[in-house]
A and B are shown apart, each in its own frame.
Chain A
Amino acid sequence: MPIGTRRGLTLIELLIGIVLGSFLGTIMVGLGLAAERSTRHTREAGQLARNLDTVLDFLESELADAGTDPSGADLLRLGADSLTWRATRGVGLACLVGSSEVRVLQGRWGGARLPQPGRDSLLLYAGADSLQTDSLVWLALPILGVSSSSCAGAPALRLQTSLDTTLTPLGRLPALVPVRVFEIMQVRLYSSLGSWWFGGRSVTAGEVIQPLAGPFLAGGLRFSYLDSAAQPTPSSGMVRSIAVVVRGSAAGRTDSAAAHWAPANLLP
Chain B
Amino acid sequence: MSRNGGALLGALLLILLLGGLGALAFAAGRLRSLAGAHALAAALAVTAAEAGVERAEAAWDPIVAGRLGIGSSTALPPRPAMNGVGSQDTLLRLGRGLYLVRSVGERRAADGHLEARAGVARLIRLEGPGIPDSVAAFVGGGVTVSADSGIRGEDAIPPFWDSVCPPATVPGIGVASAPSAGVTTLCPSGACLTGSPPASTDSALPGGLFAQMGVATPAVLVRHAEAFVSGVVVPGPALAGAVCDRQRADNWGDPLAPGAPCGDYFPIIAASPGTEVTGGAGQGLLLAAGSLTLSGTSQFRGVILALADLVLEDDAEVYGVVLVQGQLLVGGNALVQRSTCGVRRGLEGSARPLRPVARGALEWP
Please give the residue numbers on chain A whose beta carbons come within 8 Å of chain B beta carbons, in ascending order: 35, 64-65, 67-70, 74, 88, 91, 93, 110-112, 123, 125, 127, 129-132, 134, 136-138, 173-178, 180, 263-265
Q: In the docked arrangement, what's the CA distance between A124 and B242, Å?
A: 42
Residue pair B358, A68 in contact (C-beta under 8 Å): yes
Q: What is the CA–CA distance of A69 and B358 in the complex, to the nearest angstrom?
A: 6
Given contacts A174-B98, A176-B71, contact A132 B357 (CB under 8 A): no
Q: Is the CB of A131 within 8 A of B348?
A: yes
A69 lies within 8 A of B129 (CB):
no
Interface presence of B121 (CB below 8 A) = yes
CB-based contact B100/A93 at 8 Å: yes
A82 to B121, CA, bound (A): 29
Is the Cβ of B363 less than 8 Å from the Cβ of A93?
no
Across the interface, do B214 and A132 meet the contact criterion of CB distance under 8 Å? yes
Is there contact, CB below 8 Å, between A136 and B94? no
Residues of B within 8 A of A64 (CB): 363
| Residue in B96, B100, B215 whose beta carbon sits within 8 Å of that of A178 in the complex | B100
B357 touches A136 (CB 8 A): yes
Complex Cα–Cα for A264 and B71 (A): 25
Given A129-B98, A131-B347, are A110 and B119 also a contact pair (CB < 8 Å)?
yes
Query: A138 touching B128 by the CB < 8 A rule?
Result: no
B361 touches A65 (CB 8 A): yes
| Inter-subunit contact A65/B363 (CB<8 Å) | yes
Contacts of A263 in B (CB 8 A): 361
In the complex, are the beta carbons of B95 and A265 less than 8 A apart?
Answer: no
Give CA–CA (A1, B127) in the complex, Å. Answer: 116
Q: Is the CB of A132 within 8 A of B359?
A: no
How many Å lie between the Cα of A263 and that of B100 in the bound state? 19
A138 interface neighbour in B70, B94, B359, Cβ under 8 Å: B359
Asked if residues B126 and A131 are in contact (CB atoms below 8 Å), the reply is yes
Residues of B with C-beta under 8 A to A138: 358-359
Q: Which residues of A contact B100 (CB under 8 A)?
A: 93, 176, 178
When C-beta atoms are compared, the residue in chain A nearest to B128 turns out to be A131
The answer, yes or no, to whether B131 is at the interface (CB within 8 Å) is yes
Q: Size band of the B side of the interface?
A: 20 to 34
17 contacts between A and B (CB under 8 A): A65-B361, A65-B362, A67-B359, A67-B361, A69-B359, A129-B97, A129-B98, A131-B125, A131-B126, A131-B127, A131-B351, A132-B131, A132-B214, A136-B125, A174-B95, A178-B100, A265-B359
**Are B96's CB and A91's CB within 8 A?**
no
Query: In this assembly, does B365 line the interface, its C-beta being within 8 Å of a C-beta of chain A?
Result: yes
Contact A131 B97 (CB under 8 A): yes
**Most chain A C-beta atoms within 10 Å of own C-beta, residue among B97, B121, B214:** B97
Q: What is the CA–CA distance of A169 and B125 in the complex, to the nearest angstrom? A: 19
Task: Return B198 CB to nearest CB of chain A, in Å.
Answer: 25
* Interchain CB contact under 8 A, B123 and A125: yes
User: Could you tell me if A174 and B94 are in contact, using CB atoms closer than 8 angstroms?
Assistant: yes
In the bound assembly, the distance between CA atoms of A91 and B351 in angstroms comes to 27
Q: Mark B338-365, 1 if CB is under 8 A from A, else 0.
A: 0000000001100100000111111111
Q: Which of B70, B95, B127, B365 has the most CB of A within 10 A?
A: B95
Q: Counting CB contacts under 8 A, is B130 at the interface?
A: yes
A177 to B123, CA, bound (A): 11
Tell me which residues from 7 to 34 in chain B have a Cβ below 8 Å from any Cβ of chain A: 21
Nearest chain A CB to B174 CB, angstrom units = 22
Given A91-B121, A174-B98, the answer on whether A123 and B214 have CB atoms closer than 8 Å is no
Chain B: CB-nearest residue to A136: B358
Question: Are A129 and B95 closer than 8 Å at their CB atoms?
Answer: yes
Smallest beta-carbon distance A153→chain B, Å: 13
Contact among B129, B351, B357, B359 with A65 in the assembled complex (CB-CB below 8 Å): B359
A35 to B18, alpha carbons, bound, how many Å?
A: 11
Closest B residue to A49 by beta carbon equals B32
Annotate B305-321 by CB proximity to A: 1 below 8 A, 0 otherwise: 00000000000000000
